[in-house]
Structures are given as structure tokens and as C-alpha cells.
Amino acid sequence: MESKRTDPEDIDFTDAELDVFGDYTDALQAQKNPDMEEYLKRCPGSADTMRPILETALLLDRVITQFRRKHPHVDLDKLLDRKRRHGTASK
């Protein structure tokens, strides 16, 4: 059975949902080990839609943290700077 996937571009998130995403990723970046379920309680009607996005953010944060530990000399922010890749960053 094929699962239905929703294109993220087709989802209109509310301001409250966007606040949860932002607050959760801010807490991850601050290494606060946020409790995902506590954040999802702020928008209970959207938890099923939001959970996979927050899980992905958590996974990405862990992978990035591991990469930075293994390769401390690599500046990921500079490496992933879209403007720099397209030649529009100031030098």
C-alpha cells in the first residue's frame, strides 16, 4: 500500500505552529535537549503533522553536531552559505 505524502509547500502553517518550530530549533541549537512532546502540546491538533518535522530537525541537529566534532576545522555555516556559492556574498 502506497502512503500519501503531502508536499510541504502545500501546508500552510499557523503562526503558533511556526513559533513551535522556531522555539524547538532554537532550543536544539542552544543544546538544551528540548522535550518534543512538550512543544507539540502547544498545538495538539497539529501534532501528527508537526512531529515528523521536529523529528527531522532533531536528527539533523545530531548529525551536524557529530560532523562538527569530527571535523572542527570545517566552517559549515560558510560552506553552506547559499550566497557564497552563487557568488553574491560580500568578501
**Does a structural domain hold residue 7?**
no
User: What is the structure's pLDDT at 88?
Assistant: 60
**Does a structural domain hold residue 24?**
yes
**Does a structural domain hold residue 23?**
yes
- Give the structural domain span for 46: 13-85
For residue 87, give the C-alpha cell: 557568488
pLDDT tops 50 at residue 83: yes
Q: Tally the domains of the chain.
A: 1
Least confident of 1-10, 33-42, 69-78: 1-10
Region 62-90: mean pLDDT is 84
Region 50-79: mean pLDDT is 93
**Does a structural domain hold residue 91?**
no
What pTM does this model have?
0.72
User: What is the structure's pLDDT at 34?
Assistant: 95
Buried/exposed code over 12-37 (b: 16+ C-beta within 10 A; e: otherwise): ebeeebeebbeebbebbeeeeebebe
Selection from 42, 43, 26 nearest residue 34 by Cα: 26
**Does a structural domain hold residue 5?**
no
**Does a structural domain hold residue 90?**
no
**Does a structural domain hold residue 3?**
no
Give the integer Cα–Cα distance in Å for 14 and 88. 32
